[in-house]
Amino acid sequence: ADRAAFIAALPKAELHLHIEGSLEPEMMFALAQRNGVRLAFDSIEAIRAAYEFSNLQDFLDIYYQGMAVLRCEQDFYDLTAAYLARAAADNVRHVEIFFDPQGHTERGLAFADVVGGIARALADAGARGISSRLIMCFLRHLSEADAEATLDQALPHLHLIHGVGLDSSEVGHPPDKFARVFARARGLGLKIVAHAGEEGPPDYVWQALDVLGVDRIDHGNRALEDDALVQRIVADGLTLTVCPLSNLKLCVVKQLAAHPLRRMLAAGLKATVNSDDPAYFGGYVSANFIAVADALDLERDEIITLARNSFTGSFLSPAEQAPHL
């Protein structure tokens, strides 16, 4: 209880959050009604009961189904505003949010409505003291040409978009499939991140570094299987955005007591704690901190390090980070 209160009060940043993964069943139901979308579930309880996953793909199948209730700019505003209220309640002072435009444009929505609704909620939160960055992810199960077309669509909105990422089904879709589109994004001045080593092998993390030139690694768990890779990530000073409850729910770890977070810190890796898709995985950022700290019996100085890493690993400038350190 003491540890939970300490964690709750600690200023934090969240660096790995898919905004579509913050869609709670209550809002899913309400938006389905508002938009006349038919859901495969007839109650909020039935939705929650369906959230049993044995791997990443199991989850993604439900995640793409859920986002179908998002139809217009206001829906994206409401979704983002609800997440930001939860984050503020957890003492989150800065957020770097992923969105999956292809999950919406392929359903006929306008790119401008998606990015516009999210950015409007972020701007409102900014006025209340929560800073933010927006990161556009490419869906790796789709083609590089599709990612290129998505980057084209983003061009008129780059004042709202700080970086690009890579998410969705990892195994079979290595980073080098997207070498050209990430090179173009970097040329446009965008930051580069990628999910790597969640289910995929260490080689995919090497590719994220050497082919994409990532500024940060999302997950990175399986990097620990390769000592030379760990040394490289430490030498480059790259941050890992680790997601404990996600790892548990997607069976990346069998139990939280076996989570590699402490080993990451001990190896000199700049790990952070994040919620990934909190509506699906059972908790926001403080719940992730508390669950993993309890399971691993983390010391207070380890918890402080994790919170500090969330600011130093963010895309805030040093001057913007300073008040939080």
Residue 100 makes contact with Zn ion by CB under 5 A: no
162 carries a ligand binding annotation: no
Q: Which amino acid is at 295?
A: A
Closest CA to 56 of 83, 18, 96: 18
198 is catalytic: yes
Provide the CA 159 distance to its chain's centre, in angstroms. Answer: 20
Choice between 78 and 276, CB closer to Zn ion: 276
Residue 96 makes contact with Zn ion by CB under 5 A: no
**The pair of three-digit structure tokens given for residue 95, joined into one six-digit string:** 């957020």
* Of 132, 223, 276, 285, the one binding Zn ion by CB under 5 A: 276
276 carries a ligand binding annotation: yes
Choice between 21 and 117, CB closer to ligand HPA: 21
Q: DSSP string covering 90-108, please?
A: TTEEEEEEEE-THHHHTTT
Strands (E), 77-167: 92-99, 131-139, 163-167
Choice between 39 and 269, CB closer to Zn ion: 269
277 carries a ligand binding annotation: yes
16 carries a ligand binding annotation: yes
Per-residue DSSP letter, 168: S
Chain positions contacting ligand HPA, by CB under 6 A = 18, 21, 56, 63, 167-168, 195, 198, 246, 276-277
Shortest CB 18 distance to Zn ion, Å: 5
Q: Measure Cα distances from 271 to 192, 201, 237, 265, 302 in Å.
A: 17, 19, 11, 6, 10
Q: Which of 14, 20, 96, 198 is catalytic?
A: 198
Cβ-proximal residue to ligand HPA, closest one: 167
Q: Which amino acid is at 172?
A: G
Choice between 6 and 64, CB closer to ligand HPA: 64
Residue 113 makes contact with Zn ion by CB under 5 A: no
Q: Which residue has 């040409």 as its token pair?
A: 145
* Residue 21 interacts with, from Zn ion, ligand HPA, none (CB under 5-8 Å by kind): ligand HPA
Inter-residue long-range contacts of 48-51, CB under 8 Å, 24+ positions, other chains counted:
51/249, 51/280
Residue 20 makes contact with Zn ion by CB under 5 A: no
Enzyme catalytic residues: 198
Residues of this chain that interact with Zn ion (CB under 5 A) are 276
